[in-house]
């Protein structure tokens, strides 16, 4: 959420930003509604003051025994009360509409964010490692997983419908191993590990910036008034909602959680395998820091570097792209995606995402700190996917496969894999 004064001063910029992000936002309507709300509020306050003044005069005349004048003033106060009864609902309607429209206004984007319409316009800024070359015909992760008894998609579909799966044996161990490796890496870097709610209230998702725009992607439990989170970011940010926090040092939080997404709009896309599924697990980084651009830019690079370090431990080639306006969410000020080489796609596929939101999210969640002068300021917030599985299993299996059908396990994962150095078919 942005400050209404900032919106007034930057109406054209924000309308342009909304269009570039592919959002329909009537900023002009917001400003007109806010103008009417202010005028109506002034009328309400004037009438309330007049009613209070008359009430005081009635009391004074009653004490003086001037009943006739007191009755006259009572009648006038009643008329004002009737006027208030007519106008106060209008003020509430205008106030509600302003809040509704404010939630639609997008965050501004950084000056170095590429302008573009889709992920095809994202700009590569760094490439690390070389795409894997094979001296044999490689298998995709589905064929590998099935041959090694790691993945069973057919039974996942039987049990739960499309985009579902089972992980078995070493497949489950690998799934949990990458998460524990990521968590241990973050704990060593000062992150506080957390287990978080997966069923949350609507205002939690609104405060974190996922609603109203992300409703269609989120599973609802209407009988309970709860929603399943698509990322633990919402729960982590909401931990400090409506609080004043100490960010003399950045607050670093990390959660391991299951995540659920409906994948509305992805029909026909990535239908084979584990790339786009309804249920997955993530280790998420969330940072809260001072509301200073240099500070949050430094933290953006920090959390991105953490994800890169994990990929180095997994011995996987990847690239970093600057995400363009058309591929960026409403709440993001600046975003990097990390894409890992996936041989079956003959290209890079997104496995990590890093975002700097400036104070957009903290304004919604009402998370503040005191600056050096003791004044309350909104924090900057950031988030990054340290690892998401089973998607990360795609490049892990495909890049580390061998001609005999076995899969090499990088040394960093072996302590979490019961010492296994490879996965191979066991007759």
Instruction: Identify whether 75 is part of a domain.
Output: yes
**Cα–Cα distance, 42 to 250 (Å, whole number):** 42
Q: Whose CA is closest to 120, among 379, 375, 324, 294?
A: 324
Does residue 426 surpass a pLDDT of 80?
no
Q: Are 249 and 285 members of one domain? A: yes
Q: Are 256 and 126 members of one domain? A: yes
Instruction: Identify whether 114 is part of a domain.
Output: no
| Active site residue ranges | 261, 276, 350, 353, 391
Range of the domain at 10: 4-102
Instruction: Identify whether 240 is part of a domain.
Output: yes
Instruction: Identify whether 113 is part of a domain.
Output: no
Q: pLDDT-derived band of residue 71, with 50, 70 and 90 as boundaries?
A: confident
Instruction: Identify whether 110 is part of a domain.
Output: no
**Cα–Cα distance, 355 to 339 (Å, whole number):** 15
Instruction: Identify whether 336 is part of a domain.
Output: yes
Does residue 267 surpass a pLDDT of 80?
no
Q: Are 64 and 178 members of one domain? A: no
Q: Are 351 and 256 members of one domain? A: yes
Q: Are 170 and 84 members of one domain? A: no
Mean pLDDT value of segment 400-407: 97
Taking the CA atoms of the chain, what radius of gyration do you get in angstroms? 28
Mean pLDDT value of segment 154-163: 96
Residue that wins the pLDDT comparison between 388 and 269: 388
Mean pLDDT value of segment 299-326: 98
Residue pLDDT, tens place only, 100-145: 999 999 999 999 999 999 999 999 999 999 999 999 999 999 999 9
Mean pLDDT value of segment 8-34: 96
Domain containing residue 293: CATH number: 3.30.930.10
Does residue 56 surpass a pLDDT of 90?
no
The secondary element (H helix, E strand) that includes residue 9 is helix 4-9
Please state which of the ranges 70-74, 180-184, 216-220, 372-376 shows the lowest mean pLDDT: 70-74
Cross-strand partners of 423: 407
Find out whether 17 and 106 touch, Cβ atoms under 8 Å.
yes
**Cα–Cα distance, 80 to 184 (Å, whole number):** 66
Q: Are 93 and 134 members of one domain? A: no
Residue that wins the pLDDT comparison between 401 and 271: 401
Does residue 266 surpass a pLDDT of 90?
no
Mean pLDDT value of segment 416-425: 95
Residue finishing a domain among 74, 102, 130: 102
Q: pLDDT-derived band of residue 67, with 50, 70 and 90 as boundaries?
A: confident
Q: Are 43 and 140 members of one domain? A: no
- C-beta neighbour count of 194 within 10 angstroms: 16
Residue finishing a domain among 102, 128, 152: 102
**Cα–Cα distance, 253 to 237 (Å, whole number):** 9
Q: Are 88 and 224 members of one domain? A: no
Does residue 427 surpass a pLDDT of 70?
no
Mean pLDDT value of segment 332-346: 97
Residue finishing a domain among 47, 71, 102: 102
Q: Are 98 and 157 members of one domain? A: no
**Cα–Cα distance, 129 to 313 (Å, whole number):** 12
Mean pLDDT value of segment 248-271: 89
Q: Are 36 and 128 members of one domain? A: no
The answer to whether the predicted template modeling score (pTM) of the entire model surpasses 0.85 is yes
Domain containing residue 49: CATH number: 1.10.287.40
Taking the C-alpha atoms of 298, 116, 11 and 95 in order, what is their torsion angle to the nearest 10 degrees?
A: -80
What is the total count of domains within the chain? 2
Tokens of 358: 């400036």
**Tell me, what's the pLDDT at 33?**
98
Q: Are 88 and 128 members of one domain? A: no
Residue with token string 């009417």:
36
Q: Are 132 and 93 members of one domain? A: no
Mean of all residue pLDDT scores within the chain: 96
65: burial class by Cβ within 10 Å (0-12, 13-18, 19+)? exposed
Residue 230 makes CB contacts below 8 A (sequence gap 6+) with 210, 214, 217, 218, 259, 260, 261
Instruction: Identify whether 109 is part of a domain.
Output: no
**Cα–Cα distance, 4 to 210 (Å, whole number):** 20
Residue pLDDT, tens place only, 184-210: 999 999 999 999 999 999 999 999 999
Mean pLDDT value of segment 377-383: 98
Q: pLDDT-derived band of residue 173, with 50, 70 and 90 as boundaries?
A: very high
Does residue 98 surpass a pLDDT of 80?
yes
Residue pLDDT, tens place only, 206-248: 999 999 999 999 999 999 999 999 999 999 999 999 999 999 9
Instruction: Identify whether 188 is part of a domain.
Output: yes
């Amino acid at each position: 959420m942005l400050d209404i004064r900032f919106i007034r001063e930057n109406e054209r910029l924000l309308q342009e930003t909304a269009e570039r992000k592919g959002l329909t936002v009537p900023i002009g309507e917001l400003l007109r509604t806010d103008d009417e709300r202010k005028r109506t509020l002034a009328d309400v306050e004037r009438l309330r003051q007049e009613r209070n003044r008359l009430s005081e005069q009635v009391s004074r005349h009653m004490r003086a025994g001037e009943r006739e004048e007191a009755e006259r003033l009572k009648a006038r106060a009643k008329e004002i009360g009737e006027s208030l009864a007519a106008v106060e609902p209008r003020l509430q309607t205008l106030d509600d509409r302003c809040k509704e429209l404010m939630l639609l206004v997008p965050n501004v984007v950084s000056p170095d964010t590429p302008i573009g319409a889709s992920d095809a316009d994202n700009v590569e800024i760094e490439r690390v490692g070389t795409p894997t070359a094979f001296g044999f015909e490689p298998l995709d992760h589905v064929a590998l997983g099935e041959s090694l008894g790691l993945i069973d998609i057919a039974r996942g579909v039987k049990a739960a419908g499309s985009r579902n799966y089972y992980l078995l044996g070493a497949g489950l161990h690998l799934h949990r191993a990458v998460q524990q490796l990521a968590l241990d890496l973050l704990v060593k870097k000062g992150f506080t590990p957390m287990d978080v709610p997966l069923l949350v209230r609507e205002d939690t998702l609104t405060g974190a910036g996922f609603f109203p725009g992300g409703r269609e992607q989120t599973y609802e439990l209407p009988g309970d008034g709860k929603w399943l989170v698509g990322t633990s970011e919402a729960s982590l940010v909401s931990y400090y909602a409506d609080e004043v926090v100490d960010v003399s040092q950045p607050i670093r939080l990390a959660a391991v959680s299951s995540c659920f997404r409906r994948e509305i709009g992805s029909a026909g896309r990535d239908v084979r395998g584990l790339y786009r599924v309804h249920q997955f697990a993530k280790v998420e980084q969330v940072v809260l820091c001072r509301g200073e651009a240099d500070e949050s830019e430094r933290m953006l690079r920090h959390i991105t570097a953490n994800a890169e370090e994990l990929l180095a431990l997994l011995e996987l080639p990847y690239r970093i792209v600057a995400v363009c306006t058309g591929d960026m969410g409403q709440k993001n000020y600046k975003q990097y995606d990390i894409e890992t080489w996936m041989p079956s796609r003959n290209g890079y596929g997104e496995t990590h995402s890093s975002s700097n939101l400036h104070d957009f999210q903290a304004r919604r969640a009402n998370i503040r700190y005191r600056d050096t002068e003791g004044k309350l300021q909104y924090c900057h917030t950031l988030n990054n996917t340290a690892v998401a599985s089973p998607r990360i299993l795609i490049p892990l299996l495909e890049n580390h496969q061998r001609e005999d059908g076995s899969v090499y396990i990088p040394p960093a994962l072996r302590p979490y894999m019961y010492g296994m150095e490879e996965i191979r078919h066991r007759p």
